[in-house]
Structure 1
């Protein structure tokens, strides 16, 4: 009896021990379940389809982006463009749970295949349709008598040799006539001065000092042909030829506010008063306004031609030989023809440059718009293929949800495609219209300048 009791007690101990062990095990099971739930929650929270989409940032834009443009700044999907791998994308979709909303499925698909539009969008926003022509207008490079602020200083030789007879009268008569022809075609807004030299005394040695000191401005003011003609009528050929002194004194005739100055020296001989016209021409050309000295040699011999040419070159000008009134008038005609040719060349080159730049800008605008349109088509094709996988692979079998996903993807494609088309077309039109505007400006300016000089001939 005593032995049996001990057996039962031992058994009880064993049974009791086993019950405690089982209880401990069961109590630990809820902790493991909590741990598993926490792991699952972490995995869902960090899932790729739950992450917020990233967008490119852009600075220095000329205007604020529209909402559509901001959406187009989205960074591309994992399998966008040339990285597209349909099977790999499908495997990623299989990771999706079946309880997501249509918006979440759409977002997941875009995370895989959204295209990269940000460069094209930024270029369209920054697109500048302005066309600038690089060619320099002739009035900036050549001595053409049309620029406001130009002063024309005419130096007339009144030495005794100008009294020599020509077929049309004396050399002086023909020089005066040529000068008046020139005055008549100068722009009305220009200023004019008429200086004579060597007009006092005679050609004798006794009068040399007096004659060589004689240089005087007979007219200075607005371009008034009547007053210039009255001043010319006073000039009578008389003494020696102080060209150097006349050039030196000319700087007094040029207004301080003149934009530029063109000096025309009409002479039939060389310096006879011991002056240095080359030196004086260099000094005058070194003035702030940098005048240009053109020499018209009126019936001069070879020695005089060479010396007068040196004077002209020293003054950044040209020497022209004239043996008659017709030759002097021909000189002016050649000046105007030169300007007609210059304006014609400027016009032709400008129109060619505008045409090329306009074509380049229009192509760029068209390419940007077309690229966005093509990318939107590619993105939708890939997205549509993946959308069909949702029901095929049993990820989401509810028709309403998968159908809404397709609609959301289609609406995005329409919006992106429309942006590319409308913005590209608008930018193309701006380049086209600005090019036409500049083309017309150059065409009419060139024509007007050409005709202006044509009528002056």
Structure 2
């Protein structure tokens, strides 16, 4: 029994000894783990507090016409926390106080910029995408005029003349047939057309006779007798060969006249000279609507030569469908007056076109110049403001915190400010000048072209 008690006590002593050893070992390991955690936390805290070492993000500008140069890449870096109207010199100094006294010059430079760097990204985007072109989208009486180019210089107005050659044009008026009077009036009209215009002469109803037996043949008849540059001699010769014959297929003539308009024509005016209504069961109103919606959307004017009241009503509907006008001509004098009114209309239209074009040229040019002026001024003002604040913070670092590595910062920031200021000034001057010159070119184009066209019509009318 005594032995058993002694054995039990021995085992308890042994167990206690093992427990103390394990506890001792554990206590030896704990300080090591705590030191590692503490060191880790200190590193993380240091990383978070060293804000001047962080990489600053930049604005991403999309759809630029070219790559940014190095200076522009610098200018699209996001603004500092105390830039612009958010400037707080006390708060900025407090942030600088977080930096060690022996901070490197590059770190100090980065810190100041992260505090008060101005936001230039919108101005940079404006200059990089700036287009000084004075583009004026304005329809002229005779051609599409944006900016004078080879394409617009080659474009012309096409005048399509559709002449009724049905048998009724043989009727005598004032001792002369309607056909001869129409030919003479058309000839006078052609004389004063713009030199760069093109003309087509199409006749309809010129085959067969006015009998029922020839109706199908006559209603199918429409033919282009001339199509090309304005040439009075050739057109007059083509007119000489026209003789009145059959029925009146106005609808068919309108349908086929689309083929007469050249592809490079900038616009077209169709003149239908007729002494009667459609007699071939066609639908001239529907054909006029279709023609007006094709290509350059030609305007269709109807000249009703000695037509009765019923015919006038029907022909007016055709003109309205073609967004044109109907004019009644009771004799040769009426026809001549109609053409004279057309000349006056063109002359007035050119004058209005000229004035509107010059006005738009001035307005667009001034808007572009103002944009260039304001953008450049904004960059220069921000550069000056940024440098003033940089100087204030540099003085604080050198005088109050006595940081030796801040001694050369002034020259660095002065060079930065000068470079940015020059970027704003140079681009402002360049873009302003180009907008001014382009505005002058566009203004002169409308002035000179308008005068030339107006004089051209004036000389031909007198």
TM-score, normalising length: structure 2: 0.72
Match of 1:174 in 2: 181
Q: What's the CA shift string for 1:119-147, capped at 9, x where partnerless?
A: 22222212222333243334479xxxx83
Greater mean alpha carbon deviation, residues 417-426 or residues 252-261: 252-261
Residue 438 (structure 2) pairs with residue 434 (structure 1): yes
Distance apart, 1:180 and its partner CA:
1.4
Give the equivalent residue in structure 1 for 2:385. 378
- The answer to whether the 8 Å contact 1:96/1:395 transfers is no
Displacement, 1:45?
5.3
Q: Once the 2 structures are TM-superposed, how far is the Cα of residue 262 of structure 1 from its aligned partner? A: 5.2
Quote the residue 1:454 is aligned against.
458
Aligned length: 410
Structure-2 separation of matches of 1:294 and 1:415:
64
CA distance in 2, matches of 1:70, 1:450: 53
Is the deviation greater in 109-118 or in 126-135?
Answer: 126-135
CA offset at residue 103 of structure 1?
3.5
- The 2-side partners of 1:280 and 1:437 are apart by 45
- Please report how far the alpha carbon of residue 70 of structure 1 lies from its aligned counterpart in structure 2 after TM superposition: 1.6
Shift of 1:295: 3.0
Aligned to 1:84: 87
Structure 1 residues 384-436: Cα deviation after superposition (integer angstroms, max 9, x where no partner): 1121112332432x4xx544122122222112212221222222223323333
Choose which of 281, 300, 303 in structure 2 pairs with 1:296.
303
On the 8 A contact 1:131/1:357 being kept in 2, the answer is: yes
Map 1:166-245 to 2 at 5 A: 171-186=178-193, 190-195=198-203, 197=205, 209=212, 219-222=225-228, 224-233=231-240, 242=247, 244-245=248-249
Q: Unaligned regions of 5+ residues in structure 1, if any?
A: 1-28, 202-206
- Residue by residue over 1:175-202, the C-alpha shift from the partner in whole angstroms, topping out at 9 and shown as x without a partner, is 332121123344576353353658988x
Unpaired runs of 5+ in structure 2?
1-30, 145-154
**Residues 1:318 and 2:325 are matched in the alignment:** yes
1:52 match = 54
- Which of 287-296 and 171-180 deviates more? 287-296
Q: Deviation string for 1:271-321 (max 9, x for gaps)?
A: 5xx926773453365356676553323344545544443454455542212
**Structure 1 counterpart of 2:149:** none
Query: Matches of 1:98 and 1:299 in 2, distance apart?
Result: 105
**Which residue in the other structure is 2:355 paired with?**
348
Q: Pick from 275, 279, 300 the counterpart of residue 279 of structure 2.
A: 275
Per the alignment, do residues 254 and 283 of structure 1 end up closer, same or farther by CA in structure 2, a change over 3 Å counting? closer
1:381 and 1:221 mapped to 2: Cα distance? 74
Tell me, in whole angstroms, the C-alpha distance in 2 between the residues paired with 1:135 and 1:403. 61
Deviates more, 1:223-232 or 1:375-384: 223-232
Greater mean deviation of Cα atoms: 72-81 or 439-448: 439-448
Cα distance in 2, alignment partners of residues 417 and 154 from structure 1: 70
How much is the aligned-residue C-alpha RMSD, in angstroms? 4.2
- Measured in 2, the distance between the counterparts of 1:160 and 1:383 equals 92
Q: Separation in 1 of the partners of 2:224 and 2:135?
A: 46
Q: Paired residue for 2:397? A: 390
* In structure 1, distance between residues paired with 2:36 and 2:298: 98
Higher Cα radius of gyration: 1
Q: Which residue of 2 aligns with 1:119?
A: 122
Cα distance between partner residues in 1 of 2:166 and 2:201: 14
Offset, 1:270: 3.6
* 2:418 aligned with 1:418: no
Q: Indicate conservation of the 8 Å contact 1:262/1:294, yes or no.
A: yes
Give the structure-1-normalised TM-score: 0.73
Residue in structure 1 matching 2:72, options 59, 69, 73: 69
